[in-house]
Amino acid sequence: HDAAVASVLAKIETREIGTRVTKNNVTEHVKTGNMLCAKFRHYVSRASDPQLHDHCVILNQTMHDGKLYAVDNPDLYRNKFLYGQMYRNELAAELLKKGYDIHVSDAEKGFFELKGVPDAALEHFSQRRKEILEKLKSWDTYGAVAAEKAVILTRHAKEQKDLGLLTESWRATLNEMGGVKIEKTEGPVLRTAEEK
């Protein structure tokens, strides 16, 4: 996860971050390739299911010619889904390199699951998704715009819970379900052309 986040943030910094610079009454966009970014780590969904994720906040400052400028990144928001896909690609590649195997659950969106995690466990620990799907079902619509609204309307305040107690509870639930057996190979699952 950390490697995937770092890789995508580096791409954003290089490709997206710039500023507007005015010289001789002419304003132009200049790529600066540097940013300040704060990362906030979360381990839990709003429904108290396990969900490792980082919130990455790009500050509105970048350096150009030794001075701080406001960030001008017109394409970053438009490319947010692309960067989400890049994150999933990087995460999958990192897992494969470490010897874990995956199976693609939605090729169009680039979603995947670790092999060995039972569907029952995935479903049980997807309470937030269930809330959103139930709202969409009540509206009898399933489009992207409706889904965005459902996410917001079903969002309840985050509760501060002891991560240790949650982890114990998750383990107990998984044990009741028969456990999870994620096998790791000796070497990487993904091999380069030279290694094959």
pLDDT tens column, 18-63: 999 999 999 999 999 999 999 999 999 989 999 999 999 999 999 9
d(CA 9, CA 54): 11
More confident residue, 49 or 182: 49
Indicate the Cα dihedral angle 43, 47, 48, 52, nearest 10°. -20
Pick from 5, 188, 193: nearest CA to 97: 188
- Kindly give the residue spans of alpha helices, DSSP state H, lying in the chain: 2-15, 80-97, 119-124, 127-139, 144-153, 163-176
pLDDT at 194: 56
**Where in the chain does DSSP place strands (E)?**
18-23, 26-31, 37-44, 50-58, 62-64, 67-69, 102-106, 111-114
- For strand 37-44 and strand 50-58, is the pairing parallel, antiparallel, or unpaired? antiparallel
pLDDT at 43: 93
pLDDT at 78: 92
Find out whether 98 and 189 touch, Cβ atoms under 8 Å: no
**Residue pLDDT, tens place only, 65-98:** 999 999 998 899 899 999 999 999 999 999 999 9
pLDDT at 157: 84
**Mean pLDDT confidence for 102-123:** 91
Whole-number mean pLDDT of the chain? 91
> From its phi and psi, is residue 80 left (phi > 0), alpha (psi between -120 and 50) or beta?
alpha
Output the furthest CA–CA distance in the chain (Å, rounded).
Answer: 71
Indicate the pTM of the whole model: 0.83
d(CA 91, CA 5): 8
d(CA 55, CA 57): 6
The answer, yes or no, to whether residue 193 has pLDDT greater than 70, is no
- Structure-token pair, residue 90: 């990087």
pLDDT at 160: 86
The answer, yes or no, to whether residue 195 has pLDDT greater than 60, is no
The answer, yes or no, to whether residue 184 has pLDDT greater than 90, is no
The answer, yes or no, to whether residue 187 has pLDDT greater than 80, is no
pLDDT at 36: 96
The answer, yes or no, to whether residue 196 has pLDDT greater than 70, is no
What is the number of alpha carbons within 13 Å of residue 24 lying toward its C-beta?
0
pLDDT at 185: 78
